[in-house]
Chains A and B, each alone.
Chain A
């Protein structure tokens, strides 16, 4: 029997009494004071981990407070539902987060377009004059008014459209109304006739000829619908001819919104009824080598200039929206190093790196998904998403100079013109992971 086999430093259970990397006690080492591998909630290779749902954040291997890892700009309040559906009020520059996750919203203007009472839901009427203000891109004015109609039973709101626009309307039922009735009818001329229904809280999407509609119920009796028109015409909102009389209130109309109609609600605080975009960035650090900004403290020190992996867990309810950016890594001059977004074609998530864009295999889910992407400075990349059994790899036409990366944008890009407009649950920035590790993470 050898000396080692008889040493009391190796108990029968087999656990050594000192760290394997340290000298044993009889050679002057100290007993290991902590477990050899403490359990952590972030990926072992993560240098930045943002768990928005659980409100826990890590940078450089240590948990930190939210205000230490984010730089948020938004000169307006917002209201977001939490997991129970209750609206939480969030002030200027506050991280737009509840226990559902973080909601990366774009700007919404003219939400409350009722000229009679633009500041509050109180006093909204379906019988007053309402003027719609469209966004700068379309340059169109439309007028909404209320009248009778042979098709619908009571007053109908008619929105006259002068051309192809994306239109979002928020509708609420009057007191006592049953939101589960098939009561709200939207007529688009020329074109289709839609009847909306669904349990409170449900997400309902209807595809019809001539356009698509997505409905989100934020709470009982209130929901948005979204419609992209094919051309000039009228949109009429009213009651079905066979339904009992009840009030329908148009609470917000926004034809500037080109993406998903958000869960974010505009503040009713006076004076402005606008919800401004949330600019959510990781708080920058300074590169030890030259003092220039780095995407977050410790980026350069962790060796991420030599390659990086991005892990994303998010919601994607509005399939095919186009021009929605989930993640961006850019330089000081906003030039893109890496981006994960939804292309204008709307069929896939995409990874942009080295000046080239490639579809992430698996298409869009129209629901919660996970995406993992690895990028190296030589332009080689690997990417996959939830549900995939393999990793797609390739090489971009040009190298990627991660050593000048400066800004991480979450749910948008620095120009704030591609809002994600949906929930983001988790973001982790890691050292380069293997293909097997990418697959393991997305399918966990």
Chain B
């Protein structure tokens, strides 16, 4: 993804992320969200699928190796990344 502008959007749900992308796509030639028979889908060629956000959780020792283990845990938010060749002011505001 060299030379791309990356915007990380966060929201409390997948539907809220989709709504943010629909707001940001207004006036653009290529939409960020597609309508399908199964519902709305992000442009998979430029946007990672929305997924639950993770953050490092509390460390604990592996019972067999003794190694310190940090497991990623959900934060309760959803996130996706938009990768564009050109800067996008609306996404800049939404990701701020």
Within the complex, the shortest CB–CB distance from A188 to chain B, in Å, comes to 22
**Cα–Cα, bound, A276→B45 (Å):** 5
Asked if residues A134 and B51 are in contact (CB atoms below 8 Å), the reply is yes
A133 CB contact (under 8 Å) in B44, B45, B51, B84 = B51
B49 CB contact (under 8 Å) in A115, A135, A146 = A135
Asked if residues B36 and A75 are in contact (CB atoms below 8 Å), the reply is no
In chain A, what residue has the closest Cβ to B57? Answer: A131
Interface string of A72-112 (1 = CB under 8 A from B): 01111100000000000001110000000000001101100
B83 CB contact (under 8 Å) in A76, A131, A146 = A76
Question: With A131-B54, A272-B81, A279-B45 given, is the CB distance from A91 to B2 under 8 Å?
Answer: yes
**Cα–Cα, bound, A139→B1 (Å):** 26
Q: Between A and B, how many residue pairs show CB distances below 8 Å?
A: 117
Within the complex, the shortest CB–CB distance from B74 to chain A, in Å, comes to 6
Asked if residues A75 and B45 are in contact (CB atoms below 8 Å), the reply is yes
Q: How many residues of B contact A (CB 8 A)?
A: 39
A92 CB contact (under 8 Å) in B50, B81, B85 = B85
Check: A434 CB closer than 8 A to any chain B CB. Answer: no
The interface residues of chain B lying within 8 Å CB-to-CB of A131 are 54, 71-73
Q: Which among B14, B35, B51, B74 has the highest number of chain A CB atoms within 10 Å?
A: B51
Interface string of B68-95 (1 = CB under 8 A from A): 0111111000000101110000000000
Check: A69 CB closer than 8 A to any chain B CB. Answer: no
Asked if residues A107 and B36 are in contact (CB atoms below 8 Å), the reply is no
Within the complex, the shortest CB–CB distance from A280 to chain B, in Å, comes to 9
**Cα–Cα, bound, A414→B64 (Å):** 50
B44 CB contact (under 8 Å) in A91, A93, A416 = A416
Q: Which among B1, B14, B38, B65 has the highest number of chain A CB atoms within 10 Å?
A: B1
Which residues from chain B sit less than 8 Å from chain A, CB to CB? 1-4, 6, 14, 30, 34-36, 38, 41, 43-52, 54, 56, 62-65, 67, 69-74, 81, 83-85
Known contacts A131-B73, A417-B34, then 13 further A-B pairs from the complex at CB < 8 Å, ordered by chain A residue? A107-B44, A127-B62, A127-B67, A128-B69, A135-B51, A146-B62, A147-B64, A271-B1, A271-B6, A272-B6, A276-B47, A279-B44, A417-B44
Q: 15 A-B pairs, CB-CB below 8 angstroms?
A: A75-B1, A75-B83, A93-B85, A131-B54, A131-B71, A131-B73, A133-B52, A146-B65, A147-B64, A269-B1, A271-B6, A276-B47, A279-B44, A416-B34, A417-B44
Which residues from chain A sit less than 8 Å from chain B, CB to CB? 73-77, 91-93, 106-107, 109-110, 115, 127-129, 131, 133-136, 139, 141, 143, 145-148, 256, 267, 269, 271-272, 274, 276-279, 334, 414-417, 419
